[in-house]
Amino acid sequence: MYRLVIATLLIHLFLISCTSKPTSMKEDAFIEILDDRILDLLDPDTPFQILAEGFAWTEGPLWLEGQQSLLFTDIPNNSIFKIDEKGALSLFLKPSGYTGDSPRGGEVGANGLTLDPMGRLVLCQHGDRRMARMDSPLDQPKAQFVTLVDNYQGKRLNSPNDVVFDGRGNMYFTDPPYGLEFNMDDPAKELDFQGLYMLRNSGELELLDQLTRPNGLAFSPDQRLLYVANSDPDLAVWYVYEVEMDGTLSNRSLFYDATDYVRKEGFKGLPDGLKVHTSGIIFATGPGGVWVFDSSGNVLARLRTGEATSNCEFSTDEKSFFMTADNYVLKINLK
């Protein structure tokens, strides 16, 4: 009972230390227009609203249409939070990514979040090194999970990072080393590569490709292409694959190389999370904020957040665009 009281008090104090300010603005953030074609979607004078701040490292934004709410993760604090339609902040789930009893360091919480075809919450669990599903409804969240996959050919996954489903219910996810306590040098690392995978709706796991640091991924609107970020400071790029009829990938090509913006220009952040607008425009977090591309890889705009920006999300009607950026959760309105 004593432990429960202390844990409850700590969570309460943490929530007090974090703030939800739906009307405050991030004054150093701005929209940089590089191609006038994007003016149909972006207004360069749009302010960046601070929805919440004061976290360790925000990630995994997920819009819940049924609840008109945004979920996001705070990875080091092993927690998922919710911001409701009135802007109120609350703890949604803890623990989110590490359920073990032994204390450990590193980024242990959940990273990418999505809903499966049945509307259930699916989590990339860094600490538990698995893809998992929350075993409770969204309106009654509990830290009880079902393992979807936790190994490849008998070797434990590194730390699943981001996830997306195709229209047939196949699950694609990336597996870099960021959730391991000592990253690439962690003695618990069992795989000697970082993979891009597909878990078929039949339960069969397939390795689709190996990248140095596979991270965010998203389909084109017609699901014929898959865009994948590589968050390697020495190879800070986005790739694009063709998706075959059986769900496998082919013809990987370089979509955009931003390495010089990291190594020479010193911009904060790396290619990380991304989402694709129904128009086909790609919004991809990267050096300096969020990069906005057309489907040919031309840069149309940059959303300069002033922070290392990890991930992004649209509301269902695509009128709102959310960003997780260091200790912030930000929002801009779209046309």
**Residues forming the active site:** 272
272 in a known ligand binding site: yes
- Are 111 and 158 a contacting pair, CB within 8 Å? no
DSSP strand pairing (130-134 vs 145-149) = antiparallel
Q: Is 161 annotated as a binding residue?
A: yes
Q: Is 251 annotated as a binding residue?
A: no
Cα-Cα-Cα-Cα torsion 315, 170, 258, 314, nearest 10 degrees, comes to 0
| Amino acid (one-letter) located at 36 | D
Which of 166, 131, 181, 164 has its CA nearest to residue 273?
164
Closest to 63 measured CA to CA, from 102, 119, 106, 105? 119
Quote the strand ranges of 75-224, DSSP E.
Answer: 79-83, 89-93, 110-115, 121-125, 130-134, 145-149, 151-152, 155-156, 163-165, 171-175, 194-199, 205-211, 214-219
53 is in an annotated binding site: no
| Among candidate residues 257, 316, 251, 264, the one with its CA nearest the CA of residue 291 | 257
Binding site, by residue number, is 59, 161, 215, 272
Binding site for substrate, by residue number, is 161
Binding site for a divalent metal cation, by residue number, is 59, 215, 272
